[in-house]
Structures are given as C-alpha cells and as structure tokens.
Amino acid sequence: MSRKDRPIAPPEVAPSEIQERPLRYVEKRREPLRVPLPLIAPDIVHLAELVAALPAPAQERFGRLFHVSTCIGYLNPPETMHQWIEGYFGSVDAVREQRIVKVTNMVTMEGALFNELRARRPMEAKAVSDAVKEARTRIGDPFCWPEKATPEDVFGRVRGQHSITASNIAKYDGFHGLVVFNEHDPLAFDAEEVADYVDTAYRWAQKAHETDPEAKYFFFMWNCLWKAAASILHGHAQMTVTRGMHYAKVEALRRAALAYRQGCGSNYFDDLYAAHADLGLGFERDGVRVIAYLTPVKERETLLLADSLSPALKRALYDTLACFRDRMGVESFNVAMLMPPLAETEEDWSGFPVVVRAVDRGDPVNRTGDIGGMELYAANVIGTDPFFVIGQLKEAFLA
C-alpha cells in the first residue's frame, strides 16, 4: 500500500468491532551467544588481521571481492562530559581512540563503516514496548477483511492456507500485489506460515506472467512494522512482476556477477559465500548458504543463497526471521527475494541463485531514522558486528 494510505476499518464494519486481542507470539528474553575467541578476536574491528591469517588462496579470493581499511579516530572530551561518557561507554579512555573499519565490496560497490564502540556494545533481546504491543494487537484495518476491503487483480485472488492475495491499490508497477496474512500480528509467524506466504506470492507471480507473458521478473518483499515502511500493520508481504528488464538494483547485481565471472573465471556467489565461510561468517544447511554479510545495507543483514525456491530455503527464511525476533529482539525488518526471471530472456542469468536478503530496521519506537545522508549517498554506517550475527544464526539454525 502507499505510504499515504491509512489503516481504516471498511464501511461494513461497525466501530464497535474494532478491538484489541492478546498477542499470539510473546517475545523471549535471551542473552547473546558467547562465542569462544581464537588468538585473533573474531570481531569486525579485527577483520584485516583475520584475513591476513587465512591461507594464501583464501586471502586472494577475499581480495578479489573486498577492500578493507582501518583507521583510528581520536577525540579529547572535556571533564564536564566524563561522567556522561562513563555511564554510556564504561570509561573515558574507551572513547579517546576509536577503531573504525571500512569494508567495500569491489564487485557490487556496496560499502559499510563499522565503529569499534558500536560493534562491541552488548546486543540483548528486549521486552516489547507498549506502543508496539498496542499496534500489533489492534485489529480493524482493511486487511482484517481482505475480500471486502481490498481490490483483487484482473486474474482474481490466490488463496494459500494462511494467506490471500490482493491487488495493491497504489501500485509500484503494472502487476503489484499483496499477500495478506490470516494472522493479524505481523510478528506472530511460524515456519509453515512463512512458507505459505512465499508460495502464495510465487503462485500470484505465475498468474501475472500467464496474463502478460512479457511480465517475467518477479520480486518479493516483506516490510514488517512502520520502521520498515509498512503503512498498514496487519501482517502482509508484497510482490511485483515487471517487464522489459529486472529492477535496477537486481539487474546491477546480475551484471556485476557476470563481469566477475568473465574477469575471474569463477561464480561470484560461490566466491562470496566461500570468503565469508573462510572467516566463520557463513555456513550451509540443506543446500542453503547462510551469510552474515560484510557490507550490509543496515543492521544484522543476512543473505540466504539457494539453487531454487526450495522448502529448505523457505525454512531458512523462517529460521532467520525467528532468530531476529527471538534471539536479537528485532521487531521491524525488511525481506527481499531476488531470483532469475519466470521465463527465458535475452540476458545471461546462468549461475544466479535465489537470493534472500533480510535486515533489521531498528527499534520501532525510536523516532530517529536508521538511514541518513551517509546511507543514501556514501556508505552504510553499521552498529552490529557480523560476527555477533553469525553466532546467533548458527545457534538458531544448527541447534
């Protein structure tokens, strides 16, 4: 739905029917995973040293993909700030010299800046705020009655076991639909439901392609809560099928991967996974490769790579989001799914896997945005250590 849309009850529903109901999912409070440290601390601020300790072939592969630079930022705070600094950072000396690591993906030109102070701060799950609880439990928006209060596409609706589709009333593209979840609470999902949401969206895409054979490029996204740009909070995902060529960022990734293969003679996605796995930032389960990304778009970004839209990939998506929710206290997130076209095209998509990207969008009740001028026009400023993220993911996936 457009940002301008507002969640309102459909005319057929009396105001008295708008009510609150208990949360189906109750947040769990967990301590972060404690990972044993090797001789070189496995954290982002020691990335250069960790790479230097790799065998020569792994170093060479990493160097084809990433550029890493480290610098020290200095400051001299006045005595009037000392008590405040000690309360937030433990000591004044902790802020006098700050190690900053800049990582650039030389293939895609994605970049991230990690500050030692931010990357090392403790990350603990927190209890849900009253504002988020109220938003999640207050029913009465149009998606509570999708067949009465949302339009359908020209080819009708697609029904899943836990969801139903609708046509987006303010479209991004010619085919732009919604998967409306039966469950109102956007954070109350299980593995079966997540698989159903993806399956329903893909079936919708196939129907769109049947309606217009030139509409070949499928894109799936899930925005959870308002920090992630959801204008209606009732659980839902969105999907589009576009014509002519894929969306610019997906096409840019395809071209970058193709240029890498032509220049280096190897598959970009295979090398990307291997470079992360060499450092302990990636692992594989049931054919799905899981990566805590070194150049994330924002906090805790996780990449999933698979050869197809398999049950194992859908389970991995659930496990990633459940880890975000249950272990790391994430309440607002974005998910995107990138995949080759639904039908043959002129472009070379060989070796391009199904790629799922999931990212934390920050505390929903924090009025400060998580994306500013740096993220829009320079590089992403990141406050979560990917080594922390992979530890949490390993515990969630491999337990």
Note whether residue 5 is domain-resident: no
Per residue in 9-29, pLDDT (tens digit) is: 444 444 444 455 566 665 443
Note whether residue 10 is domain-resident: no
pLDDT band at 6 (very low <50, low <70, confident <90, very high): very low
Domain with 104, as residue range(s), is: 44-120
Q: What's the pLDDT at 14?
A: 46
Note whether residue 115 is domain-resident: yes
Looking at the fold, whether 184 and 333 belong to one and the same domain comes out as yes
Looking at the fold, whether 107 and 183 belong to one and the same domain comes out as no
**What single-letter amino acid sits at 205?**
A
Containing H/E element for 269? helix 268-278
Q: What's the pLDDT at 259?
A: 98
Can you give the C-alpha Rg of the chain in angstroms? 22
Structurally, the chain folds into a number of domains equal to: 2
**CA atoms of 302 and 290, how far apart (whole Å):** 7
Q: What's the pLDDT at 7?
A: 39
Looking at the fold, whether 156 and 56 belong to one and the same domain comes out as no
Check pLDDT > 80 for residue 5.
no
Per residue in 365-389, pLDDT (tens digit) is: 888 889 999 999 999 999 999 999 9
Q: Helix, strand, or coil here: 191?
A: helix
| Residues 6 or more apart whose Cβ sits within 8 Å of residue 337 | 198, 219, 220, 221, 354, 355, 356
Per residue in 355-366, pLDDT (tens digit) is: 999 999 999 988
Check pLDDT > 90 for residue 127.
no
Q: Please identify, among 120, 148, 173, the residue that sits at the C-terminal boundary of a domain.
A: 120
Q: Helix, strand, or coil here: 220?
A: strand
Q: What's the pLDDT at 140?
A: 87
Note whether residue 100 is domain-resident: yes
Across the range 176-203, mean pLDDT stands at 97
Check pLDDT > 50 for residue 122.
no
Check pLDDT > 50 for residue 124.
no
Check pLDDT > 90 for residue 116.
no
Our CA dihedral for 275, 303, 311, 248, rounded to 10 degrees, sits at: -110
Looking at the fold, whether 174 and 104 belong to one and the same domain comes out as no
Question: How many C-beta atoms lie closer than 10 Å to residue 200's C-beta?
Answer: 25
- CB-CB contact of 360 with 327 (8 Å): no
CATH for 298: 3.30.428.10
Per residue in 233-271, pLDDT (tens digit) is: 999 999 999 999 999 999 999 999 999 999 999 999 999
b (16+ CB within 10 A) / e for 314-327: bbbbbbbbbbbbbb
Check pLDDT > 60 for residue 278.
yes
Note whether residue 293 is domain-resident: yes
Note whether residue 7 is domain-resident: no
Check pLDDT > 60 for residue 204.
yes
Note whether residue 4 is domain-resident: no
Across the range 310-335, mean pLDDT stands at 97
Q: What's the pLDDT at 238?
A: 98
Place of tokens 């240029």: 259
Per residue in 31-69, pLDDT (tens digit) is: 333 334 346 679 999 999 999 999 999 999 999 999 999
Span between the terminal Cα atoms of the chain, in Å: 38
- Tokens, residue 164: 């139903």
Note whether residue 168 is domain-resident: yes
**CA atoms of 121 and 144, how far apart (whole Å):** 40
Q: Please identify, among 94, 120, 146, the residue that sits at the C-terminal boundary of a domain.
A: 120
Q: Please identify, among 120, 138, 173, the residue that sits at the C-terminal boundary of a domain.
A: 120
Average pLDDT, the chain: 89
The predicted model scores a pTM of 0.90
SS3 breakdown of the chain: % helix, strand, coil, rounded to 5?
Answer: 35, 20, 40
Q: What's the pLDDT at 368?
A: 86
